[in-house]
Amino acid sequence: MKKKAKIYKPTKSSMQSGFMNTKEWVLEYIVHNEQINPLMGWQSSSNTLSEIKMSFTTKDEAIDYAKKNKINYIVIEPNKRSIVKKSYADNFLK
């Protein structure tokens, strides 16, 4: 069975306005055999790769790691933020 992973840049937390954890790229394995634990109702998996998330400073480092370890990967590019510059006076001009 061939390993599959996705490489992405995490989005910022909706609970805070800062961008602290959005600077690094993350390689996360894609696991399809998740099951629901009958005792607690939590999602569980017998595949331990589902628990691994590796951080890299650049996208190229993550891609190089995947290539060296023969991991099929998908790169998910981050969306660009559009910043609209407004002034306080714009609230009263319309």
Q: pLDDT for 56-84, tens place per residue?
A: 999 999 999 999 999 999 999 988 878 88
Mean pLDDT of the chain: 85
Task: Please state, in angstroms and rounded to a whole number, the distance separating the CA atoms of residues 48 and 50.
Answer: 5
Q: Which helix (H) or strand (E) holds 2?
A: none
The whole model's pTM is what?
0.70
- Cβ atoms 65, 52 nearer than 8 A: no
- Given CATH 3.40.50, say whether it is the number of domain 4-93: no
